[in-house]
């Protein structure tokens, strides 16, 4: 394998891993009632690890919490 081919394969692997790593904050944001696109863009600027930590600290959005409470009250 030539040096150029090795570099191309390495870069492709890194891009795939980075895209997988970006998927985690997107799904976390979506599950917490937050904008997945906004958090993904922020993860591109900062780091997905920082965004995961921030999302864990912030928790669910107020709208999601309200919706969950209303759904629980309707079930009773």
Secondary structure string (H, E, C) spanning the chain = CCHHHHHHHHHHHHHHHHHHHHHHHHHHHHHCCCCHHHHHHHHHHCCHHHHHHHHHHHCCCHHHHHHHHHHHHHHC
- State yes or no: pLDDT of 52 exceeds 90: yes
Task: Look up the pTM and report it.
Answer: 0.70
Give 11-25 pLDDT, tens digit per residue.
999 999 988 888 999
Q: Assign 27 a pLDDT band (cuts: 50, 70, 90).
A: very high
Question: Looking at residue 63, what is its pLDDT?
Answer: 87
Place of tokens 């309200």: 66
């Amino acid at each position: 394998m030539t040096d150029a081919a090795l570099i191309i394969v390495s870069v492709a692997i890194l891009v795939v891993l980075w895209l997988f790593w970006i998927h985690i904050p997107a799904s976390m944001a979506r599950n917490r009632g937050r904008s997945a696109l906004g958090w993904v863009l922020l993860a591109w600027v900062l780091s997905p690890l920082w965004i995961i930590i921030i999302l864990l600290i912030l928790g669910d959005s107020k709208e999601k919490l309200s919706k969950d409470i209303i759904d629980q009250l309707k079930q009773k």
